[in-house]
Chains A and B, each alone.
Chain A
Amino acid sequence: MKRSKTMELGVGLFMLAGILGLLFLGLRVSGLTFNMPGDTFRLEANFANIGSLKPRARVTMSGVTVGRVTAIELDRDWYDARVILELDAELEGRLARDTTAAILTAGLLGEQYIGLTVGGDPEMLVDGDTIRDTQSALVLEELIQQFVSNMVSD
Chain B
Amino acid sequence: MIAHILNLGRRGCDVLEALGRSGLFLAQSAVGVPSREGWYLWLRQMHFVGVLSIAIVLVSGLFIGMVLALQGYTILVDFGAEQALGQMVALSLLRELSPVVAALLFAGRAGSALTAEIGLMKATEQLTSMEMIGVDPLRRVVAPRLWAGFVALPLLTIGFSVIGIYGGYLVGVEWLGVFEGSYWGGMQSSVAFIGDVGNGMIKSMVFALVVTWIAVFQGYDLVPTAEGISRATTRTVVYSSLAVLGLDFVLTAVMFGGFS
Contact = CB atoms under 8 A, between A and B. Distances in A.
Q: Does chain A bind chain B?
A: yes
Interface of A: 1, 3, 7-8, 10-11, 14-15, 17-18, 21-22, 24-26, 28-32, 54, 56-58, 63, 65, 106-111, 113
A14 B46 contact: yes
Nearest to B184: A28
A2 to B, nearest CB: 10
A110 B155 contact: no
Nearest to A21: B158
B80 A108 contact: yes
Nearest to B154: A18
Contacts, number: 106
Nearest to A57: B189
| Most A C-beta atoms less than 10 A away, residue of B182, B185, B189, B190 | B189
Contacts of B156: 18
A25 B197 contact: yes
B168 to A, nearest CB: 11
A24 B196 CA distance: 14
B186 A111 contact: yes
Contacts of B159: 17-18, 21
B155 A107 contact: no
B84 interface: yes
Interface in B188-220: 188-193, 196-197
Given A10-B47, A30-B191, A113-B189, A25 B80 contact: no
Contact of B40 (A3, A22, A24, A106): A3
B185 A58 contact: yes
Given A1-B40, A21-B159, A26 B197 contact: yes
A11 B50 contact: yes
Nearest to B46: A11
B83 A14 contact: no
Contacts of A107: 80-84, 182
Given A29-B165, A30-B188, A31-B191, A14 B43 contact: no
B243 interface: no
A106 B188 contact: no
Contacts of A58: 185, 188-189
A106 B186 contact: yes
Interface string B91-115: 0001000000000000000000000
Contact of A21 (B51, B161, B188, B189): B161
B162 interface: yes
Given A18-B156, A24-B162, 13 more contacts: A1-B37, A7-B51, A11-B50, A14-B54, A29-B94, A30-B188, A30-B192, A32-B193, A58-B185, A58-B189, A65-B185, A107-B84, A110-B186
A22 B54 CA distance: 16
Contacts of A18: 154-156, 158-159
A71 B164 CA distance: 31
B183 to A, nearest CB: 11
Nearest to A28: B184
B232 interface: no
| Most B C-beta atoms less than 10 A away, residue of A18, A56, A113 | A18
Contacts of A17: 155, 159
A19 B81 CA distance: 33
A44 B43 CA distance: 52
